[in-house]
């Protein structure tokens, strides 16, 4: 197994001024090649800290990626430190000098001394061109380790990795095969899911590893396989997931990068069906789950944001009697909202939400987190009462997910009632 370490250099990342997205991108690319990232680190623009992390990485990794610290300004030290670390001097590199000269000439800008010095490279490095910027990348085969130093600007780094570094890695290392597959679930918590599938998990072969990746309302199951053949691993992982599927089928909404609302939207399109929404407590968030995805206009007609009771009455036909007897947070109201918006838009299905998202507005009978959802369909209305315990934003999110999941399970004929 080739072991990789990724190091970002720069005070701006260390102190949080910039969010580092480079290391995630690099590790995903390495993962595809079967190179295992074993450590990610960020250090500041301090010589002793940079030298220390290089020394540590050398002991742990077969290949070390370094981003940042190659710009022309004086707090960027990486090149000098690398030259010292590999016991060589900095010297002008002919091709690098030509590249940086052309880069400025092409843009009609003068080449300053500071920019000319970007062609100063440690004598032991292999020059790697940077087509997108002025700081070249460097490849070292020293101290029984491969070292790749790249600029920290994301689009420059990505271009260098894709065109130069990844092909060199494939040539240099004998790479194993790692395969991941992700199954995404909704409507079951991590611990319940774990209880449900623990017998299956315990009998997984040693070369397949399971991970739970939870976020609010969604739990992803990831199986990672290690072996020689990607094809075999894909098949083994697929078979392993197929074994557990009867237990979790109702919760599984998708795979890999699938998103719940998009999956449900595609189900609607496949049935030539349309959707509208009547939102009170979710206040537009439910609709936005659908409309953030391209292609939603194929099934999403629109709806009513019925925040005020007047709007519930005038637009959705909720009766004054329901609002005074049962209140806006009631089964009678949610039923009227769902049928009202379905009638109004002529959609095949509609979803409705009404509840107390919090933090204020609760009563002893209807505490914060009491929320009704409904699905109106051609032959009836299905309602659910939720009792949520999160913050306002969490309650809105979970209500929306639950409503979308209600529609998903109805479309799949997978509802208990």
Which of 62, 75, 78, 45 is CA-nearest to residue 6? 62
Query: Is residue 27 close enough to count as binding a second copy by CB under 8 A?
Result: yes
Scan residues 288-307 and list those touching a second copy (CB under 8 A): 288, 290-297, 300-307
Residue 249: Cβ within 10 Å count:
11
Torsion of CA 123, 126, 127, 129, to 10 degrees: -170
Tokens of 395: 């309650």
Give exposure, 97-128, as e/b (b: 16+ Cβ within 10 Å): bebbeebeeeeeeebeeebbebbbbbebbebb
Query: Is residue 254 close enough to count as binding a second copy by CB under 8 A?
Result: no
Scan residues 124-183 and list those touching a second copy (CB under 8 A): 132, 134, 153, 155, 180, 182
Applying CB under 8 A, among 1, 55, 75, 363 the residue interacting with a second copy is 75
* # residues contacting a second copy (CB under 8 A): 111
Query: Taking the complex as a whole, how short is the minimal distance between the CB of residue 38 and a second copy, in angstroms?
Result: 7
Which of 289, 292, 313, 291 is CA-nearest to residue 404? 289
- Which residue, 289 or 380, is less far from a second copy as judged by CB? 289
Q: d(Cα 57, Cα 389) in Å, to the nearest integer? A: 45
Query: Taking the complex as a whole, how short is the minimal distance between the CB of residue 124 and a second copy, in angstroms?
Result: 26
Tokens of 358: 């919090």
Query: Is residue 68 close enough to count as binding a second copy by CB under 8 A?
Result: no
Query: Is residue 15 close enough to count as binding a second copy by CB under 8 A?
Result: yes
Instruction: Determine the angle formed by the axes of helices 392-411 and 260-270, rounding to 10 degrees.
Output: 30
List Cβ neighbours of 94 (8 Å cut-off, separation of 6 or more).
none
Which listed range, 91-99, 109-117, 226-234, 377-385, lies at the site for a second copy (CB under 8 A)? 109-117
- Which residue, 104 or 124, is less far from a second copy as judged by CB? 104
Query: Is residue 311 close enough to count as binding a second copy by CB under 8 A?
Result: yes
Instruction: Provide the 8-state DSSP code for 63.
Output: E
Applying CB under 8 A, among 396, 401, 406, 407 the residue interacting with a second copy is 396
Q: d(Cα 217, Cα 189) in Å, to the nearest integer? A: 7
Query: Is residue 313 close enough to count as binding a second copy by CB under 8 A?
Result: no
Which listed range, 62-70, 83-91, 119-127, 356-364, lies at the site for a second copy (CB under 8 A)? 356-364
For residues 70 and 78, the answer to whether their CB atoms sit within 8 Å is: yes
Query: Taking the complex as a whole, how short is the minimal distance between the CB of residue 119 and a second copy, in angstroms?
Result: 13
Query: Is residue 98 close enough to count as binding a second copy by CB under 8 A?
Result: no
Query: Is residue 259 close enough to count as binding a second copy by CB under 8 A?
Result: no
How big is the chain, counted in residues? 417
Query: Is residue 206 close enough to count as binding a second copy by CB under 8 A?
Result: no
Applying CB under 8 A, among 33, 58, 72, 258 the residue interacting with a second copy is 72
- Which residue, 88 or 175, is less far from a second copy as judged by CB? 175
Query: Is residue 192 close enough to count as binding a second copy by CB under 8 A?
Result: yes
- Which residue, 123 or 209, is less far from a second copy as judged by CB? 209
Binding mask 28-47 for a second copy (x = CB under 8 A): x--x-----xxxxxxxxx--
For residues 61 and 39, the answer to whether their CB atoms sit within 8 Å is: yes
Q: d(Cα 334, Cα 279) in Å, to the nearest integer? A: 10
Query: Is residue 213 close enough to count as binding a second copy by CB under 8 A?
Result: yes
Which of 124, 176, 133 is CA-nearest to residue 158? 133
Q: d(Cα 215, Cα 221) in Å, to the nearest integer? A: 12
Query: Taking the complex as a whole, how short is the minimal distance between the CB of residue 90 and a second copy, in angstroms?
Result: 18
Longest dimension (CA), the chain: 86
Find tokens 């599927």 and name the residue: 245
Query: Is residue 222 close enough to count as binding a second copy by CB under 8 A?
Result: yes
Query: Is residue 21 close enough to count as binding a second copy by CB under 8 A?
Result: yes
- Which residue, 18 or 88, is less far from a second copy as judged by CB? 18
């Amino acid at each position: 197994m080739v072991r990789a370490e990724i190091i970002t250099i720069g005070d701006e990342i260390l102190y949080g001024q910039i969010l580092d997205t480079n290391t995630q991108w690099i590790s995903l690319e390495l993962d595809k090649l079967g190179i295992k990232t074993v450590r990610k680190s960020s250090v500041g623009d301090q010589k002793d800290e940079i030298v220390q992390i290089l020394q540590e990485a050398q002991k742990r990794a077969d290949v070390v990626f370094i981003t940042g610290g190659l710009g022309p300004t004086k707090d960027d030290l990486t090149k000098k430190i690398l030259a010292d670390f590999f016991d060589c001097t900095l010297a002008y590199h002919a091709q690098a000098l030509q590249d940086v000269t052309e880069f400025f000439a092409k843009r009609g800008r003068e080449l300053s001394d500071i920019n000319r010095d970007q062609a100063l490279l440690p004598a032991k490095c292999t020059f790697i061109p940077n087509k997108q910027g002025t700081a070249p990348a460097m490849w070292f085969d020293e101290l029984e380790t491969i070292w790749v130093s790249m600029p920290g600007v994301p689009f420059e780094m990505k271009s260098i990795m894709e065109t130069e570094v990844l092909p060199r890695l494939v040539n240099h290392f004998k790479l194993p095969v790692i395969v991941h597959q992700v199954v995404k679930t909704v409507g079951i918590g991590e611990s319940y899911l774990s209880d449900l599938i623990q017998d299956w998990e315990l009998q997984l072969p040693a070369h397949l590893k399971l991970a739970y990746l939870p976020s609010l309302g969604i739990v992803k199951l990831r199986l990672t396989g290690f072996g020689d053949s990607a094809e075999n691993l894909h098949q083994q992982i697929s078979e392993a997931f197929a074994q557990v599927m009867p237990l979790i089928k109702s919760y599984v909404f998708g795979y890999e990068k699938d998103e719940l609302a998009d999956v449900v939207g595609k189900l609607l399109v496949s049935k030539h069906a349309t959707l509208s929404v009547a939102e009170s407590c979710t206040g537009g968030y439910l609709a936005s789950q659908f409309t953030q995805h391209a292609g939603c206009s194929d099934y999403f007609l629109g709806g009513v944001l019925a925040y005020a009771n007047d709007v519930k009455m005038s637009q959705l036909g909720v009766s004054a009697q329901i609002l005074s007897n049962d209140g806006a947070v009631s089964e009678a109201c949610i039923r009227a909202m769902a049928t009202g918006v379905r009638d109004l838009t002529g959609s095949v299905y509609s979803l409705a939400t009404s509840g107390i998202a919090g933090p204020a507005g609760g009563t002893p009978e209807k505490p914060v987190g009491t929320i009704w959802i409904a699905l109106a369909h051609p032959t009836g209305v299905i309602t659910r009462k939720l009792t949520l315990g999160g913050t306002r934003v969490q309650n809105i999110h979970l209500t929306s997910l639950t409503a979308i999941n209600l529609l998903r399970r109805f479309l799949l004929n997978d509802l208990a009632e």
